[in-house]
Every structure is written in structure tokens, then in C-alpha cells.
Amino acid sequence: MKEKLLSLSQKFSQAAVQPVMFLAIMGTGLAIAVIMQLSFMPSFVIFIGTLLKTMMNAMLNNLSIIFCVGLTTAFAKTKKVDAAIISLIVYIIFLAGNNAWLTSQNMLAQPGAMGLFGTGQNLVLGFQVVDMNVFLGIILGCITGYVFNKVSNIQFVEMFRVYGGSRFAFIIMIPITLILAIVLSYVWPVMNYGISCLSVFMKGAGALGVFVYAFGNRFLIPTGLHHLLWMPFCFTGFGGTAQIDGNTVQGAVNIFYAEMGSGANLTAIDPSIRFATFGFAKIFASLGIVLAMIKTAKPENKSTVKGLLIPALFVSMVAGITEPLDFAFLFISPLLWLVHGLLTGFSEMLLWVLGSRTYSIYGLLDTIVCNSVIDPKLSKIYIFFAVGIVMAIVWYFTFVFLIKKFDIKTPGREEEPLNNKTSYDSSTNNSSDNQNPELFIEGLGGAENIVEVNNCFTRLRIDVADINKVNKEIISKGKQKGVVIKGSNVQIIIGMTVESEKEKLVNVLNIKKQNIKKE
């Protein structure tokens, strides 16, 4: 049961990452739009900025449907276009069904001075429904994706063939959606109360709550479960609720993006921002850690270590992708990883206590662009960078001390000279595009042992039938940065090219499976 729950949570995490990856673009677009609307800009530029802001706000205000379609499509193993169409239909008919039920039972809330804010209901695509925000998309996306995988390949006899396959999945979803539309009218208000209580608790916990959240968010990275912690707080009511420009916004990141759009009228940053500062460690901790590992490397290995770690440092600081760096020391020394997590928790707690209200969830680029449209007096971004410089020094000296004290074999400190064939080296290249997938498939126990292939920001996540057939040594011969095995799930750390690597792997895998069937 524990293994199944872990597998399910990992599948949700990797599926949810897909729509989240587009939100960084939305935030950058919104920041650019606000800059274009500054008073000294030419009228034509201000007009274009207004259009761009309206477009980005449309995405921000409809994240629920984006998550619904994104999750369903990510979960679907085949026929992803059909899955996307069904998820869109399911979302719309839920809204219609829920509105019809509320209307028939005289349960529609009456707008007050602030509209429907605080009533537990909201207008979504023109329907007044129970206000579930992004949770509605998550619930419908998960259920639709599950049902689609179960029944989309079922076919009937010729006379009823039109009702088989993907259409059968839609048929099954109609009564399920109707039941959800009715049941959630009564269940969600109770759930919403519980979410509000949790949010209030985290707020009441103050600095301690920030420490626990930040520590867990960093420490859980090896399991892939950190997504289950930060995503709800960033994009759902767990992170807080605010009324901005007449719109109800939930989640720390969503609230900040909405504040970006009304920067001229902003008088304070919402307290939920404390759940959206975990880019701090990606920027400053990475700098201190890399410098520490270069410092402690053997003299004859320093140039090689620089070649290995500096590209990873750049990716981490600028784009916020830390896995290539994390796996350079995570498995070598769990102690370093624990200390890294504790320093991360302390840093974000310190930022909160000192009054920094700076948004940062990815890297330096996203942090600078998004905060550029917020008054520094409100964001106190100068505190963010001042603390960052100090903590980078703390990370540096702490890692240098621990590495030397316990003789930890970080890159460049091995007994044998460091070379380009180590398992954490990202510079190993293959002359053939198919050589990497071939090695992975062989190391995973062959095509027949591979059940499903997915990916998150930086990792291939492969479910296998028999974990005993997996050979990490063979996988390590490919272009990768580390291999993690959790139950029957194998995670291969790739980096920012993970999507293209997944496509190559899936293409080769499909050919091999087709050949097996022919034989």
C-alpha cells in the first residue's frame, strides 16, 4: 500500500508539473506588460501592454481549466488529443451541472458589496458555481485521466463501434461528472473550511511555519514529493485567498501575479508571499555550494570540477533547475543534504522575519523580471539580496568545514583522479541520437519491462514491471546526471533537455515493442 501511494503521488507530481511549466512564461509576460504600461512609455506601447496584460490575466483567471486539461493529457498514456478534448468537455458540463443543481435547490449565493467574494461561490466561464478554484481542475483532471486510461482502448462490435474507445471514456465520465456536480455542492464548503483553517494555522505559525515549509520543500526533492508541498500553497487556497481588482485569487503565486497587474494601486504584498520565496536557495545556496566543492577538490581535479559544476551552477541560479547540482552531492553525503535543507529553512525564515516580501520560485531571471514591477519599498528586494550574499557565504564555509571534517568524497575528492566517465558527469556525449535511449532501455531491463515513461522538470520517470531487472551501471553509461530508484519507479536525472530525451526514448521504445509483438 505504501508503495502504491508513493507511486500515485509521484505520478501526480510529474503530471502537475506540465501545466505549471507554462506559468513562468505567463508571469514574465505579465511583468513585461506592466513595464510597457508605465506613464513615460509611448501611447502605442502602453496600448500593446494593456492588450498583453489582458491576455495574461485571462490565463491567470482560468488556471482551473488549464490544470484540468493539462493533468488529463499528462496522465493519458495514449490518444492524448482525445483525452484533452474529453477533459475540456467534462470541465464545461461540470460547470453547467453544478450551476443547474444550485439553481434548482435555491442554493445560489447573492452577490454583496464585493460581489461573490466570501460566499463560497464564483463565476467560472459564465456559470455561478461552488468556488473550488484550481482544485476543480485538479480533481476533474485526475479522475478523467484515470478513467481514460482504463477504458479508452475498449472496443465494441461493429454496430456499436462508434461508442467504443475514447467515446466510451466520455460516456463513463458523464454520470461521474453529474454525481460530482451534485455531491461537491455540499462537500466542498466543508472542505473549503478545512483549507481555510490550515491556511490560518500556517499564518499563525509565523516564522516557524515558514521554516517547516521551506525545509520540507528542499529536503523532499530526492523523492519527487516536494511538488505535493509547494504546488498547493502556490496555486490553491492552501496558500491563502485575496481580493484583487474585484477578483478572488487563491494561492501565493497567483496572488503575486495578480498584484503585479495592479502594481500602481498596491500598498502591501499579501502575506502569502512567504510560500513563494523558495527560489532563494536555488540562487544563493547553489553559489556557496559550488564554490565550496571547487575549493575542497584536489588540486589536480579542480579544472575538471569547474567544468562539471559551473554549468550546473548557471542553470540553477538563472533558471532555478537545481537537480544537476543536487545530485552531485546528495547520494555522496546525506549529511550535506540535511544541512542544506536546514540552512534553506533558516534562510527563508530569516527573510520573512526581516521583512523581505520578494517573489522568487524559479531562478535569478524570473526573480528580477517579476519583482521589477513592484515598488522596492513593498518587496524589500534589497533585503532578499543582502541576506542572499550573507547566506551564500554561510553555505560556503559550512560545506567546506563538513567536507573536510568528515572527508566527504564530493566531486574531485575521489581516491582516483576525476575523469569524464563518472556517473554524475553531464558531458558524456553519444554520436548517435538513439544510443542514449538504447542504453536506458537496456539498463531498465528491456522494452518489455518498461510500463510507462513520464518526465518532470529535469527527470525521466519510468515505471517498470520488475525492478530486479534494472541495471544502474548500464543506465549510467548514458548521458545522465544520476539515477534514483523508488519502488518500481526509476528516475533518471537528465536536466533541462529532459523533454527531448523523453521523446527519443519513447520513439525507440515504441519501435522495440512493435518488433516484439511481430515476433
460 and 353 fall within a common domain: no
Please state, in angstroms and rounded to a whole number, the distance separating the CA atoms of residues 457 and 348. 23
| Amino acid identity for residue 283 in this structure | I
Does residue 277 lie within any of the structural domains? yes
Residue 440 and residue 400 share a domain? no
CATH code of 466's domain? 3.30.1360.60
**The residue type at 317:** M
Q: Residue 291 falls within a domain, yes or no?
A: yes
In DSSP notation, 387-423 reads HHHHHHHHHHHHHHHHHHHTT---TT-SSSPP-TTST
Check residue 221 and give its pLDDT.
Answer: 75
C-alpha cell at 294: 571547487
CA–CA gap between residue 149 and residue 151 (Å, rounded): 6
Does any domain span residue 144?
A: yes
Q: Which residue has the cell 519510468?
A: 462
**Above 60 in pLDDT, residue 19?**
yes
pLDDT attached to residue 145:
94
Q: Does one domain contain both 94 and 183?
A: yes
Alpha helices, DSSP H, located in 315-380: 323-326, 334-354, 364-371, 376-379
Residue 393 lies in a domain: yes
In a domain, 392, yes or no: yes
Q: Which of 157, 178, 204 is the last residue of a domain?
A: 204
**Would you list the DSSP string of 196-221?**
HHHHHHHHHTHHHHHHHHHHHHHHTG
> Could you tell me if 477 and 387 lie in one domain?
no
456 in active site? yes
Is residue 385, in this structure, part of any structural domain at all?
yes
- Structural element, H or E, at residue 451: strand 450-455
497 and 373: one domain? Answer: no
Nearest CA to 256 out of 353, 345, 366, 351 is that of 366
**Top-confidence range, 37-41, 243-247, 294-298, 457-461:** 294-298
Mean pLDDT, range 8-33, rounded to an integer: 71
Task: Examine the domain organization and report whether 400 and 345 are in the same domain.
Answer: yes
**Is-contact 222 341, C-beta < 8 A?**
no
Q: Do 188 and 78 reside in the same domain of the chain? A: yes
Residue 407 has pLDDT above 80, yes or no: yes
Range with lowest mean pLDDT among 155-159, 201-205, 394-398, 469-473: 201-205
Burial (0-12, 13-18, 19+ Cβ within 10 Å), 313: buried
User: Cα separation of 165 and 156, whole Å?
Assistant: 8
Residue 211 lies in a domain: no
User: Of 176, 204, 232, which residue sits at a domain end?
Assistant: 204
pLDDT 10s digits, 224-262: 567 667 878 888 888 888 888 878 888 899 999 999 887
**Same structural domain for residues 390 and 493?**
no
Whether 336 is covered by a domain: the verdict is: yes
How open is the CA angle 416-419-423, to the nearest 5 degrees? 95
- Asked if 67 and 198 sit in the same domain, the reply is yes
Whether residues 395 and 300 share a domain: the answer is: yes
Alpha helices, DSSP H, located in 265-333: 279-280, 286-296, 302-314, 323-326
If asked whether residues 306 and 392 sit together in one domain, one would say yes
Which three-class secondary structure state does DSSP give residue 129?
Answer: strand
* Total number of domains in the chain: 3
Q: Which of 134, 4, 7, 31 is nearest to 367 (CA)?
A: 31
**Mean pLDDT rounded to a whole number for the chain:** 85
What is the total residue count of the chain? 519
Q: How far apart are CA 296 and CA 484, in angstroms?
A: 26
Beta bridge partners of 486: 489
Q: State how far the Cα of 328 lies from the Cα of 322, in Å rounded to an integer.
A: 10
- What b/e string do you get for 317-356 counting C-beta neighbours within 10 Å, with b at 16 or more? bbbbbbbbbbbbbbebbeebbebbbbbbbbbbbbbbeeeb
CB proximity list for 158: less than 8 A, separation 6 or greater: none
Quickly state the pLDDT bin for 398 (edges 50, 70, 90): very high
Cβ contact 323:458 at 8 Å: yes
Q: Mean per-residue pLDDT for 353-361?
A: 95
Catalytic residue among 68, 234, 370, 456: 456
Which residues face 130 on adjacent strands?
A: 121
C-alpha distances out from residue 37 to 29, 71, 247, 374, 517, Å = 13, 34, 21, 13, 60
| Residue 26, pLDDT score | 76
Co-location of 195 and 303 in the same domain: no
Which among 154, 180, 204 is the end of a domain? 204
pLDDT tens digit string along 409-436? 888 886 544 444 333 343 333 434 567 8
Its domain, for residue 330, covers 272-405
